[in-house]
């Protein structure tokens, strides 16, 4: 990868992936785009374009003018927000991805990354150790777009030889940018509330176990997959990926070890139904074999690092 463009660069994952890609490939080689006004101080030195991923002509101009050869396409509407306006979620997620893939062919780009999610799974799965080739029957429009995104990514790889790669990310926990309206957002919000108010009301029930991952592991997995030799990849746009799994009560227990006054209460809302349809643990043996994936952070290390970083920031 020589010259990289990121869509959704101001989001939870994009804002941190941008910095790591700049560290590895040089800041001048990383071009950021998002639909929002740029307002993240750590990213102010990057070349930035405000563009809607549904606007193919503007995207094409940016790609050509900057001689881009690879894209990390992170712009999307996430699960909980997607359920508020499913048609809009389809429009952004599907038309955005289709534009990126078509431009990948038109401009002969070398690699494209489009993330999927545990939301691709749904009713009828084995929730424990969900396998790579599990049935995919998503319960949200977001999940529908993830399954369709994986399928179209794999199709473009087979049909047109476009090198599309993707991971089914679990819920991502991070301290720099707030998550953008998903079902796993509680696992970030809880830290802000624990530090500021010593209490948190969870919108998921106490024993809602979900697969989770700390941001440094997410960034490593993403770059490792993109740097892997294509000859070793048995999958393309749909690799299962896992680190740890826990429920709100497990996270609260760990937080209490550092902030003993912390109290959690539970008021499950519509997001509990979404969580109920997702896996609890994931079998990511393809990723572990094909490109030697290994996660680093467990629940204890995540809590320590999050509380450390956010206490300084808040
Ligand atoms: P986010 O909501 O934090 O960021 C998405 C970004 O996309 C936002 O900055 C938003 O402004 C931008 N965006 C939205 N609509 C746009 C449009 N029409 N044109 C251009 N930009 C637009 O999301 P994230 O958590 O950073 O997720 C990035 C990717 O990873 C998404 O594809 C998401 O589905 C996937 N993912 C994330 C998680 C997670 O826990 N964060 C888990 C699984 C998969
Ligand atoms: C969400 O909850 O929507 C995301 C995801 C797991 O895809 N965090």
Catalytic position from the list 48, 142, 200, 239: 142
Which residue has its alpha carbon closest to ligand 2 atom 1?
182
CATH label of the domain that carries residue 8? 3.40.50.720
What residues are in contact with ligand 1 under a 6 Å CB criterion? 7-8, 10-14, 34-36, 52-54, 74-76, 78, 92, 115, 117, 169, 171-172, 179-180, 182, 184
Are 298 and 173 within 8 A, CB to CB?
A: no
Q: How far is the CA of 76 from the centre of ligand 1 (A)?
A: 4
**DSSP-assigned letter for residue 118:** G
pLDDT digits (tens, 9 = 90+) for 158-188: 999 999 999 999 999 999 999 999 999 999 9
Q: Are residues 274 and 128 in the same domain?
A: no
Which one of the ligands is nearest to 94 CA? Answer: 1
Q: Are residues 179 and 45 in the same domain?
A: no
Which one of the ligands is nearest to 203 CA? Answer: 2
Query: Which of 7, 38, 49, 76 is the pocket-test mutation for ligand 1 (most atoms within 8 Å of CB)?
Result: 76
Q: Which of 225, 240, 255 lies at the terminal end of a domain, its last residue?
A: 240
CATH label of the domain that carries residue 178? 3.90.25
DSSP 56-103: HHHHHHHHHHTT--EEEE-----HHHHHHSHHHHHIIIIIHHHHHHHH
The reported pLDDT for the residue numbered 52 is 98
Q: Are residues 153 and 229 in the same domain?
A: yes
Residues contacting 26, CB < 8 A, separation 6+? none
Q: Are residues 181 and 285 in the same domain?
A: yes
Contact 171 CB / ligand 2 (< 6 Å): yes
Nearest 10 degrees: CA dihedral of 23, 26, 28, 29?
-100
Q: Are residues 92 and 231 in the same domain?
A: yes
Which one of the ligands is nearest to 115 CA? Answer: 1
Are 256 and 224 within 8 A, CB to CB?
A: no
Count of structural domains within the chain: 2
The reported pLDDT for the residue numbered 293 is 98
Catalytic annotation present for 169: no
pLDDT digits (tens, 9 = 90+) for 221-236: 999 999 999 999 999 9
Q: Are residues 159 and 181 in the same domain?
A: no
The reported pLDDT for the residue numbered 50 is 98
Q: Could you tell me the residue range of the domain that residue 261 belongs to? A: 172-212+243-313
Q: Are residues 219 and 86 in the same domain?
A: yes
pLDDT tens track, the chain, 314 positions = 899 999 999 999 999 999 999 999 999 999 999 999 988 999 999 999 999 999 999 999 999 999 999 999 999 999 999 999 999 999 999 999 999 999 999 999 999 999 999 999 999 999 999 999 999 999 999 999 999 999 999 999 999 999 999 999 999 999 999 999 999 999 999 999 999 999 999 999 999 999 999 999 999 999 999 999 999 999 999 999 999 999 999 999 999 999 999 999 999 999 999 999 999 999 999 999 999 999 999 999 999 999 999 999 99
Residues contacting 94, CB < 8 A, separation 6+? 145, 148, 149
Q: Are residues 154 and 84 in the same domain?
A: yes
**DSSP-assigned letter for residue 154:** H
Q: Where are the beta strands (DSSP E) in the chain?
A: 4-7, 30-34, 47-50, 70-73, 111-113, 116-117, 164-165, 167-169, 171-173, 199-202, 210-214, 239-240, 244-246, 263-266
The reported pLDDT for the residue numbered 1 is 85
């Amino acid at each position: 990868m020589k010259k990289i463009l990121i869509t959704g660069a101001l989001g939870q994952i994009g804002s941190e992936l941008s910095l790591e890609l700049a560290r590895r490939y040089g800041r001048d080689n990383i071009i950021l785009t998002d639909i929002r006004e740029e307002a993240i101080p750590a990213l102010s030195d990057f070349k930035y374009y405000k563009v809607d991923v549904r606007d193919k002509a503007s995207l094409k101009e940016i790609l050509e003018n900057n001689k881009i050869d690879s894209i990390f396409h992170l712009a999307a509407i996430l699960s909980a927000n997607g359920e508020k306006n499913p048609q809009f979620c389809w429009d952004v997620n599907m038309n955005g991805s289709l534009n990126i893939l078509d431009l990948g062919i038109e401009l002969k780009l070398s690699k494209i990354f489009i993330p999927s999610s545990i939301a691709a799974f749904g009713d009828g799965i084995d929730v424990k150790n969900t396998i790579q080739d599990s049935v995919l029957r998503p319960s949200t429009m977001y999940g529908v777009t993830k399954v369709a995104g994986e399928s179209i990514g794999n199709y473009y790889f087979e049909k047109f030889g476009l090198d599309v790669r993707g991971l089914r990310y679990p819920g991502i926990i991070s301290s720099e940018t707030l998550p953008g309206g998903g079902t796993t957002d509680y696992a970030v919000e809880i830290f802000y509330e624990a530090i500021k108010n010593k209490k948190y009301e969870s919108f998921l029930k106490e024993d809602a176990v979900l697969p989770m991952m700390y941001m440094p592991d997410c960034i490593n997995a993403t770059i490792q997959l993109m740097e892997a030799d294509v000859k070793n990849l048995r999958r393309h746009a749909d690799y299962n990926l896992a680190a740890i799994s826990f429920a709100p009560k497990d996270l609260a227990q760990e937080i209490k070890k550092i902030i003993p006054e912390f109290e959690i209460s539970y008021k499950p809302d519509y997001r509990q139904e979404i969580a109920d349809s997702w896996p609890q643990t994931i079998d990511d043996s393809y990723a572990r074999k094909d490109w030697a994936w290994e996660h680093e952070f467990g629940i204890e290390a995540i809590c320590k690092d999050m509380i450390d970083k956010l206490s300084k920031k808040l």
